[in-house]
Structure 1
Amino acid sequence: MAIEHLYVVVYDIRDTKRWRRVFRLMKGFGDWVQLSVFQCRLNAVRHAELVQLLDNLILHQRDHVILMDMGPADGIAPRVISLGQPYTPIERGPAIF
């Protein structure tokens, strides 16, 4: 099995239509944390796929996307300070094929 890394993805998309497209794309790759912030468990193949799809969606002169690699998803315990709503880390669930 390919090693998954935990990524935090944040974005600033200047156009509402493009923002919605990025949001819908991200929902297929990870869990929504808050406005324009997702956490994702991705292996190398899924990471490359996400980067390519995002690269094709954004307008490079105006938009900004940051993917932060937090390390191996199963080997880290994120230290998070969450004010207001509780923070819930991604749990790896069963895969049904």
Structure 2
Amino acid sequence: MDEHLYIVTYDIRDPKRWRRIFRIMNGYGEWLQLSVFQCRMNRRRHAELIALLDGLIHHADDHVVLMDVGPADKVAPHITSLGRNFTPIERASVIV
């Protein structure tokens, strides 16, 4: 399915906008920490997320970073995690 693993982090100044972004991100990935998500997405979902976020943020005040870690099935991220365990998001079936 050609999915990539992304780490998405954001700094949103307005608490109301921050909550909207957080709710959107919950639909695209797994929450890791305050304002940090890991997402497993194909190109279409990636473009869709960028369009959604681009329409919601205030470009002069807010900042969103999407880091492409690599192909989701092939990437073995080298991560140092202190405290809670970090586990790269696994591919899961979605039943509709």
Counterpart-to-counterpart distance in 2, 1:76 and 1:10: 19
Partner SS state of residue 31, structure 1: strand
Provide the alpha-carbon RMSD of the alignment. 0.8
Aligned to 1:49: 48
85-94 vs 3-12, which moves further: 85-94
Alignment: residue pair count = 96
Query: Cα deviations across residues 23-56 of structure 1 (Å, max 9, x unaligned)?
Result: 0000000000000000000000000000000000
Gaps of 5+ in 1: none
Shift of 1:86: 1.0
TM-score, normalization: structure 1?
Answer: 0.95
Residue number in structure 2 paired with 1:26: 25
Identity of matched residues, %: 65
TM-score (norm 2): 0.96
- TM alignment of 1:81-92, pairs within 5 A: 81-92=80-91
Partner of 1:47, secondary structure, is helix
1:74 counterpart SS class: coil
* Amino acid of the structure 2 residue aligned with 1:18: R
Q: Which residue of 2 aligns with 1:10?
A: 9
In structure 2, what is the Cα distance between the partners aligned to 1:3 and 1:96? 20
Following the alignment from structure 1 to structure 2, what is the Cα–Cα distance between the partners of residues 38 and 44?
A: 17
Listed as ranges, the gaps of 5+ residues in structure 2 are none
The whole-number CA distance in structure 2 between the counterparts of 1:37 and 1:75 is: 22
Larger mean Cα displacement after TM superposition, 19-28 or 83-92: 83-92
